[in-house]
Structure 1
Amino acid sequence: MNPLVSLYNAISLTHLIPVGGEDLDRLSGDVRLTRAGHAEPPVLLLGEKEPRSPHEGEVIYTDDIGALCRRWNWKEADRTKLTPETKNAVLVIEALPPLTSDMLQRAVEELAALVERHVGGAVSTLFLHRENPEGSLR
């Protein structure tokens, strides 16, 4: 397992918020947060033996190949999982009420500090929301 998983799980448990991560180099095209259509391609999720299609209307993260995560960032796909070989990662923190922007900022800062201290490399942050719905990961 990649040490980033342990770090983001610590933040998730400390702040009681959903946090996930994907290998940026395994993504294909743009990442989108959307609702699954009726004919989504099957996706192999971590810990499962058979790929399954997301349910119509289910909230998923997807790229040009298919779902990266199902049910927001709860069920992650095997295809884009963080591994010991991962060199570039995207970590996602989801913030819905009652989490405030200050609470989110604190969680992001703590995660960034943990990553820099224990994993190394460069950390950059990007906040997406209704008024800023897209950004560049590279």
Structure 2
Amino acid sequence: MGCTEQNYCAADLADYVLGCVQHYVFAVASIDAAGNITDLRPKGTLNDQAASDALKKHEQSRNHPDASTSEKGFVRLSSETNSDSEAMAVTPKALKAVNGECKWPRSGITKSERPCPEWRYQCHFTGYF
């Protein structure tokens, strides 16, 4: 009994039935004009592939709500120290800048020269404001 090797090149990559046996055709590699071979097989376990597919579908969807004060969602960050926007979240850089400006008392500066409202002198910011 001998082995027979058959090579098929299916340009259309269509599944087919041969001798009552279903054959599923898909590309496992591609070869460019320079002869470079690229492996096209999926990477990882089936669970990894399913998770990756689900993530790709979600990324392609348009269901990306913005966060609000009452709803979860995507958040834009801002380093502005004078913004009154409720659509953006403060960054540590902005928080540090505000804390640096509002640490009082500072010698040689009168109360009227202070850049921050009085209530800011009483506390040190550590979170959202």
TM-score (norm 2): 0.23
- More contact order relative to length (CA 8 Å, sep ≥ 6): 1
TM-score (norm 1): 0.22
